[in-house]
Structure 1
Amino acid sequence: MKNYLQLLLPRIVLAPSFFLILVFVYGFIIYTGYLSLTDSRMLPTYEFMGWGNYTKLFGLRHWKIAVNNLAIFAILYILFCTVIGLLLAILLDQKIRAEGFLRPIFLYPMALSFIVTGTAWKWFLDPGIGLEHIMHQWGWESFEFGWIKDRTFAIYTVVIAAVWQSSGFVMAMFLAGLRGIDGEIMKAAQIDGASGFRIYRRIIIPMLRPAFLSAFVILAHLSIKAYDLVIALTNGGPGRATEVPATFMYSYTFSRNQMGVGATSAIIMLLMIFSIIIPYLYSELRSEKQS
């Protein structure tokens, strides 16, 4: 009886959490999927209309702009975070004296919310009060940096702010990977006459494949659901220059009273995330079976 209670107790403790997740996560995913197949507008309606919202969504110019902006943001965000994070990790892995001081400085931006980051960078990049204004006060009258007001370059200001916040987190992932590599491998390569650059290029970086894959999955997931940073920094503007699927979903659901179209865009975003997570889980399970 005592053993039976010991086995039953963890299930009883976890049951409420499991039930809440089942209802408020997976239940609402199913509900959103159903709304995407209805003609819901300001309020939900349950009259089934098939795939009409999906056809309408992919015909909207605003959705195409949002997807194009997401592609630009995601590619640059993942690329720069990975490169900067790897370089910072390699720097700290050299056992420099200031490592204990530098590591929390690089990690600190990740402790901030995207709302705080967006607001701070909005002030910093505003030509009237930010960097451009300060440079003019210092005598650099010809200096111009008005990207945040420019429809062509505004999306790149979102990339800058996002990279600033996330690079330290990627650095921590790579640093953990570097510290997990057996030092004897590097010593053997040095004895064979390999240069430091060649050791990193041929031995260490290939061994960081799990860290690269994990960083890619996390950054891709963050880029797809990017909302608060965009709203705080540019509010999707100027015009729709920084519109992304998450802001599109919100505006069509709550501002334009097109709940069916908004739900459809949410399902498309979910499928984007699934297309990243499922191959990652498959590769991890396959590696475990092979090992």
Structure 2
Amino acid sequence: MPHAALHRFLRRVDTWLPRLVISPSGAAVFVFVYLFIAWTIYVSFTRSSVLPDYSFAGLVQYARLWATPRWYVAIANLFIFTTLFMGGCTVIGIMLAILLDQRIRVEGVIRTIYLYPMALSFIVTGTAWKWILNPGLGLEKMVQSLGVTSFRFDWLVNPDMAIYTVVIAGIWQSSGYAMALFLAGLRSIDDDVLKAAAVDGAGPFRLYIQLVLPMLRPIFLSVFVVLSHLAIKSFDLVIALTNGGPGYATDMPATFMYSFAFQRSELGTAAASATMMLATVVAIMVPYLWSELRTERQ
């Protein structure tokens, strides 16, 4: 009996010890993530301004949010940035992955070069591209110093074009990550399938369009989820590169929320914008998770 009791005790320890070890982290995540999310959502339904005011006010803050012209600029910029950022990263990523899948001799070096930008933070990327695109000391000045005095590239200070500088910097940083995912997918395809298609007369272009790319559908979905998440929460890249300017021409929902919360002291409107961003992320993640669970069940 003592041996059996000891065995039961050790089995209980094995069961509960991992839970005890991770419980502090779980409690911290619950408090500092989920409770603060719940707090933000509730504040968005109050009359909070400079300080929180917990009296319920319905959709007042949402009406104020959607009556703010700056919010529409942020939404339009998010649409432009997300569309071009995701499209550019996907196209460049799949092209680089196909190139590396040819098993060229210097594949390791090229793969490292392509992946290196992903190791940098968006703050570093934004700062570097701010120097590169600055008309007074970057690309424009360098080309003009070579004798092409008519060359102009002032997108960084042009309100109509500044958002596209954010797109350029974002694509430069994240295309390597998309490439890595696509390359892993290409390497997972059975070579026998490709050889059989080649024997049937499929050329390289037709082989990739009709066979390889459709087989990469799960990879495309993963790339879509990751890149859309990066696009929606883009904050540090915009702050480092344009600081939302000129004016608020490159404002995004994340920078809009920061500005209204900490610079204009309109806490309720900022909470409403944060809730709208959360709803957008949930609208993307829920179908993805449902698709993954359905695939696992099948």
TM-score by length of 1: 0.99
Distance in 1 between residues matched to 2:236 and 2:204, nearest whole Å: 41
Q: Which amino acid aligns with 1:107?
A: L
Q: How does 1:175-214 map to 2 (within 5 A)?
A: 175-214=183-222
**Counterparts of residues 51-200 of structure 1 (less than 5 Å):** 51-200=59-208
Q: Which runs of 5+ in 2 are unaligned?
A: 1-8
Q: Give the match for residue 285 of structure 2.
A: 277
SS for the counterpart of 1:46 is: coil
The alpha carbon displacement at 1:122 in A equals: 0.5
Matching residue's letter, 1:285: L
Of 2, 16, 40, which residue of structure 1 is paired with 2:10? Answer: 2
Secondary structure of 2:135's match?
coil
1:36-77 deviation line (CA, Å, top 9, x unaligned): 111111221211111100111111101011001100000000
| Distance in structure 2 (CA, Å) of the matches to 1:38 and 1:181 | 54
Report the residue type matching 1:207 in the other structure.
M
Q: Quick one: which amino acid aligns to residue 273 of structure 2? A: S
Report the AA paired with residue 242 of structure 1: T
What is the SS of the residue equivalent to 1:166?
Answer: helix
Letter in 2 for 1:238: P
Q: Deviations over 1:129-166 (max 9, x none)?
A: 00000011111111111111111111000000000000
Specify which of 227, 231, 234 is matched with residue 239 of structure 2. Answer: 231
Deviations 1:194-248 (A, max 9, x none): 1111111111100000110000001001101100000110111111110110000
Paired position in structure 2 for 1:24? 32
Q: % of aligned pairs identical?
A: 56
Counterpart of 1:245, as a letter, is: P
For 1:209 and 1:284, locate their aligned partners in 2 and report how far apart those are by CA, in whole Å: 12
How far did 1:287 drift? Answer: 1.2
Q: For 2:246, give the aligned amino acid.
A: P
| Cα RMSD after superposing both structures | 0.7
Secondary structure class of the residue paired with 2:245: coil
Counterpart CA distance in 2 for 1:239 and 1:198 is 48
Q: State the match for 2:41 in structure 1.
A: 33
Give the Cα separation in 1 of the matches to 2:189 and 2:46. 53
Task: Please state how far the C-alpha of 1:128 moved relative to its aligned partner.
Answer: 0.4
What TM-score, normalized by structure 2, do the two folds share? 0.96
Q: Give the AA of the match of 2:30.
A: L
SS of the equivalent of 1:18 reads: helix
- Which residues in structure 2 correspond to 1:43-58 (within 5 Å)? 43-58=51-66
Q: Which runs of 5+ in 1 are unaligned?
A: none
